[in-house]
Chain A
Amino acid sequence: MSSAFIPLLLDSLASAALIFFAAVGLTLVFSVLKVLNVAHGSLYSIGGYLAASLSLFVASRGLNPYFSFVALLLSAALVAAVLGPLLEATLIRWVCGKSEAVQILATFGLFLILEDLQRIIFGVQSYYEDTPMRLMGTTTLGGVVYLNYQLVLIGVALAVIFGLRFLIRHTRLGRLMAAVVADREMAQSIGINTDRIFLLAFSLGVFLAALGGALSTPTSGIAPGLGADTMVLAFAVAAIGGLGQIEGAALASLIVGVARVTAVYVAPEFDAVAPYAAMLVVLLVRPYGLLGTMKIRKV
C-alpha cells in the first residue's frame, strides 16, 4: 500500500509545487495591481525555454554541469528583470484601472504575441535537458526510488511560501505592498509611490512564474503550448484558493496537484479534467475560494 501511496504523494507535491509558482505570481499581481494577467502562463514557459536553452549551452560547452542549476535561477531572474519592467511600464500600466473586459482582452493579446515570439525565437520543437535532475540522483527507501530533484522542487516551493509571508509581514516593501492592496488611494496620500510598488510586485510575479517554468524543464521538458496549459491551471488554482490569497494558492495547488496525479495513477484518461473537477467541487461549496472573502461594496 505505502509503496504505491508514497510515490503518488511525492509526485503530487512536486506537481503542486510547479503549479504553485505560476499561481502565486498570478494571484500576487492580481492583489496588488488588480489586473488579471492572462499572459502570465507565457512568462512561465519563457522561463522554461530560457532555462532549457541556457542548460543546453552549459552542456554543449562542457562546462561544470552544476552550472545548469545556476542557469535555472539565472533565467528566471533574467526574464523578471527584462520582461517585468518592460511589460508593466507599457501594457500592464495601461490596462490598470480599466474594466475587466479590457484587461482580459489586452493581456490575451499579449499572450498571443508572447506565444508567437517564443515560436520565432525557440522554434516549435520540444526541449529536453535533464542535467540538474540527473545530478541530484535518486534515493531508494523501502524499495521505492525517489527523484531527489522532486524533493528540491517541494523545498523551493516551501521556501517561496515562507519567503513571501516574511516579505509581506516583516519587510518595508511588503508592508507598503499590503497598504497598496488594502487601499491604493490612501497608500498614495500617505506617501507611497504606488507606481514603483506596482512595478516591483509585477516583476516579482514574473520572477515566480519564470522560476516555475525553469524548474519544470529538467523533469518534463518544454514544448509549445505549455504557456496556455499553465495559464489555465494557474487560473483554476487562483480561483480555488481565492484570488489574492498566497496561502490559498498554496493550498489550492496542493488540491490540484493531488487531483491531477491521482488521476494519472488511477484513471489517466481524466488527467486533464481532474483539476477542474476539483475546482468545481470547491467553488460549489465556497464560491469565493477556500480563503477568499466576499467583497462588500462600500456605499
Chain B
Amino acid sequence: MLGIVDLTVSIEGVRVLRNVGFELQDGKTTILIGRNGAGKTTTLRAIMGLVACDSGTIWLDGEHLEALPGYQRARLGIGYAPEDRRLIPDMSVEENMRLPMLALNLPKRETTDRLDEIYAMLPELHVMRARAAGSISGGQGKMVALGRALTVARKVLLLDEPFQGLAPALALEYARTLGQLRKHRPDLAILITESTPALLDRIADRTLQIERGEITDSSNHEVQTCISSSTVARETETIVSGSKSMRS
C-alpha cells in the first residue's frame, strides 16, 4: 500500500501541492482528476522522487520514500508512465521496455518472463517490438510507456494522463487494456491522472479530485452501483464526499 501524508511541494518558489494526502490500496484503481496545472503530474513526480518535497511523507508498505534517492522507486516496485511517454527514439520498442529491468539487473530468465507477461496483456507491443521507438505513433508510444512501466510495477503503477492526445479508437483500446491489466494483476495498486474522467468510470474504484494543489474531494465507487455516465459520477461524488480524510 502506498500512502501520502501532508505532502507539500514547491517548484521555483511557487507552492504546487498543499497538504496532499491519500492512500493507494492494493488491488484498487484510483483516478486523480484535476484541471491542467492542478498538480496531478507533480503528485506523481513527487512519488517518483523527481521533485523535492517541502514537507510531508510518502511511504510504501511501511518504508519511507521521501529520503530515498529517486532511482530506488523502480526497485521497490513502482512503475511510472509519464504523460509525454519519454521513450528513447533510437532504441527499439522492446529495448525501451528492457531498460528498467536492465537497470535493476534482473536475471535474463526473469526479464523474458516479465516481457512475455506484458506481451500477453498487450499483444500490439509484441507486433511492434522490433520497431524503433521513434517511428511509432504517439498513441502507440503510450502503450509502450505503459508496457515499460509494467516491467517494474510489482506493487504500484502510476499513469500520467494516459488518454491525453489519444485518438478515440486508441483511447477505447487503451481503456480495454487497463481492464485486462486488472485481471492479470489483481493486486496492483493503480493511480491514473486525468482531466476528463469519462473513459475511466468503469475501471475506477475510487476518484480523487485535485484543485490548485489540494485534494478537494474523494469518492469510493464501491458504495455506488451502476454508474454509466460520467456526469452522474461527478454528481455522486459531491454527495458522497463527506469525509475529507483519506487516511481511513
Question: Footprint of B on A, CB under 8 Å?
Answer: 172, 175-176, 178-179, 182-183, 185-195
Contacts and interface: CB of A to CB of B under 8 A. Distances in A.
A189 B74 contact: yes
Contact of B104 (A178, A183, A187, A191): A191
A192 B86 CA distance: 15
A192 B88 contact: no
Given A172-B105, A188-B50, A178 B91 contact: yes
Chain A CB count within 10 A is highest, among B99, B100, B105, for B99
Interface of B: 48-50, 69-75, 80, 82, 86, 88-91, 95, 99-100, 102-105, 148, 152
Given A175-B99, A175-B102, A191-B103, 9 more contacts: A175-B95, A176-B99, A185-B50, A189-B71, A189-B80, A190-B74, A190-B103, A191-B74, A194-B71
Nearest to B95: A175
B76 to A, nearest CB: 9
Nearest to A195: B69
Contacts of B50: 185, 188-189
Contact of B86 (A172, A183, A195): A183
A190 B70 contact: no
Contacts of A191: 71-75, 100, 103-104, 152
A192 B82 contact: no
Contact of A186 (B82, B102, B152): B82
Contacts, number: 60
Interface of A is mostly: helix
B2 to A, nearest CB: 15
A192 B103 contact: yes
Chain A CB count within 10 A is highest, among B72, B86, B90, for B86
Chain A CB count within 10 A is highest, among B88, B100, B103, B105, for B103
A188 B102 contact: no
B94 to A, nearest CB: 12
Contacts of A175: 95, 99, 102
Contacts of A195: 69
B80 A172 contact: no
A172 B88 contact: no
Please name the 5 residue pairs, one residue from A and one from B, whose CB atoms are nearest each other, closest first.
A191-B74, A190-B100, A191-B103, A186-B86, A182-B88
Contacts of B89: 182
